[in-house]
Amino acid sequence: MKRLVVMGLMFGVLASGWAEKAPSDSYFPLEKGFSWEYDTLNKEKKDRFTMKVVVEGSWEEKGQSGMILTQKDKRGKMREFLTRSEKGIFIYKLGLSKGYTPEVFTRFTPAVPRVIYPLQPGTKVHWEGRLKVAWVDKPIIFDGEVVGFEEIDVPAGKFHCIKLHYHEKRGKEVIDEDAWYAEGVGQVKYDGGQYVKELKSYSRGNAAK
């Protein structure tokens, strides 16, 4: 009987641990057609606007491949060329455009982390590389950590999220960022630099078919 009780307690502990260890990929859906809308605040100017984000499709270049995440708001359009591996999701390059101006690309050597795996509290990463755009070529030092699970309230509702913290140095510029992700949903909240964004709505679009 004692052995059964002990086994039962052990199973309960293990089960509670498994509940907090969902597959990392499920926290950042990258299926074509998945989309999000965010209420975005410029903290300095106290200006609010809507940001729309969608998984546009696949890309391939110089032996690298992945999915394109496109972000649009009143400031313009940004395309993130993302790759995914067992270590996380990485930004290979960014494409920025505004109005009728040509798209300008920012490249990271090597690809910079966007989300670090595994998404378990205590996971850390240290990354060093370079950012190159036009005539700019500056060093980047990036430290990321999976902080833990939190309940987050945003316009789209209440979500059980995993929180990530990033500390980044781009030349002389220093940026601290916090991002919260929910399983099956993606990014729910972001707070970094001048901006805060909170999820208003999301749709699986073609990804649900």
Domain at 141, CATH number: 2.40.360
Confidence at 208, pLDDT banded by 50, 70, 90: low
Q: Which pLDDT score, from 0 to 100, does residue 13 have?
A: 34
Q: What percent of the chain has pLDDT over 70?
A: 88
Residue 1 clears pLDDT 50, i.e. is over it: no
Q: Which pLDDT score, from 0 to 100, does residue 180 have?
A: 99
Q: Which pLDDT score, from 0 to 100, does residue 171 have?
A: 84
Lowest mean pLDDT among 6-15, 73-82, 88-97, 173-182: 6-15
Quote the CA–CA distance of 130 and 9 in Å, as a whole number. 50
Mean pLDDT of the chain: 89
Tell whether 20 is covered by a domain.
no
Quote the tokens at residue 73: 């708001």
Q: What percent of the chain has pLDDT over 90?
A: 82
Structural domain boundaries enclosing 160: 27-208
What pLDDT, in 10s, does the model give residues 64-73? Answer: 999 999 999 9
Tell whether 60 is covered by a domain.
yes
Tell whether 138 is covered by a domain.
yes
Quote the CA–CA distance of 180 and 186 in Å, as a whole number. 8
Q: Which pLDDT score, from 0 to 100, does residue 207 have?
A: 58
What pLDDT, in 10s, does the model give residues 102-141? Answer: 999 999 999 999 999 999 999 999 999 999 998 889 999 9
More confident residue, 12 or 157: 157
Mean pLDDT of the 160-186 span:
96
Tell whether 18 is covered by a domain.
no
Cα-Cα-Cα-Cα dihedral sign, residues 86, 25, 107, 138:
negative
Tell whether 4 is covered by a domain.
no
Nearest C-alpha neighbor of 120 from the set 88, 91, 85: 88
Residue 147 clears pLDDT 70, i.e. is over it: yes
Q: Which pLDDT score, from 0 to 100, does residue 22 have?
A: 53
Tell whether 178 is covered by a domain.
yes
Q: Which pLDDT score, from 0 to 100, does residue 152 have?
A: 98
Q: How many domains does the chain have?
A: 1
Tell whether 14 is covered by a domain.
no
If DSSP codes are grouped into helix, strand and coil, which group holds residue 9? helix
Tell whether 131 is covered by a domain.
yes
Q: Which pLDDT score, from 0 to 100, does residue 185 have?
A: 98
